[in-house]
Amino acid sequence: MYQRIASVFVLLTGFGISLHAQSPACNNSLLTGTYFYLLTGAIATGAQPAPYVELGKLISDGQGNVSGHSTASINGAFSTYSLSGTYAVQGNCTGSMALTVNSSATSTFAFEVVRAGDGILISFSGSGGVAVGQAYRASTGSAPCTNGSWVGSYGFLLSGVSGGAFSEEGQVISDGNGNLSVTSVANSNGAVLQVPGSGTYSLAADCSGTVLVTSQLGNNGYIFAAVQNGQAALFLSTNTGATVSGIAQSQSLVPSVLPQFVSGGGWYSALYFTNTGSSAVSFPVNFIGDDGTPLIVPVVGSSSTVVNIAPNGTAAIQTANIGPVSQGYASVTLPVGVVGYGVFHLSNPGVPDQEAVVPLSSASSTISTLTWDDTNFVTSVGIVNPSNVPTTVSILLRDSGGDTIGTSSVFLPAKNKTEAVLRNLPGLAG
């Protein structure tokens, strides 16, 4: 086995996988997969700069190469572009990208990697104009997008120029079947309007699509992209003469998970919750087995329970070390003001008891890094896929000098979880 301390980088290529870890060092491999970006700025076209927006797609191979395409509006005139180029990410998470547009002109962008590679802050500045924006990873899963990948209630903001200054703030609700309802407040060149509307959308396999909304403002078309595993969407108006873009973000609370909930065979686990608010709260906790089926927890008597906490109070769920090992994971959507963590306890005859405190993980976590200390200890992980699609988790092992010394992958069906000693995984033993 590895008689040293190493770094394990885990790319969780499926929505909602959780692994307790620290932030990874930045390098080219962080930028892997499909990203959609939205840029806004101004282009020099004459005596006055013209408003500019661009919605594009980039596919990064994790080795410094990108390709894609985009649609841009310059003062309401639309163009499409093919893109190809290279990028370099530094250890401090800054980077540069050289993009060749339509196989001719090359533009250089500066960027910052954020959210461990799930996002990129982008800036362009040249004699021809300026533009800034952000890129978002589309999906960390291997399954293609469908209309059902973008569902729920979203708050949105749009702004730009359309016959004058324009802005719109509101809520859009998607039913997951291609239908939308919209309520918003729009400001069109100083005239403020309450704008109810309805519409349709279509989402392609690559997570890009189109939207048509009908309201008192008329028929408004958009190209859009679902990003962050459907938690957000980017929009670019396709109306003639418009230079309008914006973003929608999910208004739903993101569940948290405790990736290992185990009892029996020497183990017991506990969940602790504290209500920091001034009002009583009540919320369910669900327990799921490794195979995605409900996990019956004896102390609860079922696979779920409701936790009630008084203002500033605390509650706990604790299993017992009785019978054979039974394990899975816990899932909970915490009300605002409630925090929680888990505890694992292992008792074996002849050795001191061991116990660890573990914070809950966001079900939307996608990338994690941890230190692998295999000199005096055994390092194990619990990995959960609480999403509705299967996924593959990629694992990269580096030594203390940053050199790759092992790779592995773990396939997880939807709603499944696994636990493993890292050195027992193929490609990591040695």
Indicate which CATH number applies to the domain containing 358: 2.60.290.11
Q: Round to whole Å and give the CA distance between 206 and 137.
A: 11
Show pLDDT as tens, one digit a residue, over the chain (430 residues): 333 344 444 444 333 333 333 344 689 988 989 999 999 999 887 778 899 999 999 999 999 999 999 999 999 999 999 999 999 999 999 999 999 999 888 889 999 999 888 899 999 887 788 999 999 999 765 568 888 888 888 999 999 999 899 999 999 999 889 999 999 999 999 999 999 999 999 999 999 999 999 998 899 999 999 998 888 999 999 999 999 999 999 987 778 899 889 999 999 899 999 999 898 988 899 999 999 999 999 888 899 999 999 999 999 999 988 889 999 999 998 888 899 999 989 888 888 888 888 888 888 776 777 777 777 777 888 888 887 777 888 888 877 777 888 888 888 888 899 988 888 889 887 6
Same domain (yes/no): 112, 155: no
| Closest C-alpha to 291, from 327, 257, 333, 330 | 327
Same domain (yes/no): 299, 369: no
Tell me, yes or no, whether 203 lies in a domain.
yes
Domain that holds residue 357: 255-362
Tell me, yes or no, whether 413 lies in a domain.
yes
Same domain (yes/no): 156, 96: no
Q: State if pTM tops 0.75.
A: no
The domain boundary residue, chosen from 250, 284, 318: 250
Tell me, yes or no, whether 142 lies in a domain.
no
Question: Which whole-number Å values give the CA distances from 266 to 295, 321, 351, 353, in the listed order?
Answer: 18, 6, 12, 10
Q: How many domains does the chain have?
A: 4
Same domain (yes/no): 287, 218: no
pLDDT of residue 156: 97
Tell me, yes or no, whether 311 lies in a domain.
yes
The domain boundary residue, chosen from 362, 378, 405: 362
pLDDT of residue 143: 66
Same domain (yes/no): 165, 225: yes
CA angle 220, 226, 228 (to 5 degrees): 145
Handedness of CA 62, 65, 69, 75 (dihedral sign): positive
Same domain (yes/no): 45, 92: yes
The domain boundary residue, chosen from 362, 380, 400: 362
Tell me, yes or no, whether 113 lies in a domain.
yes
Same domain (yes/no): 118, 160: no
Indicate which CATH number applies to the domain containing 214: 2.40.128.120
pLDDT of residue 351: 85
Same domain (yes/no): 371, 340: no
| Closest C-alpha to 32, from 120, 103, 105 | 120
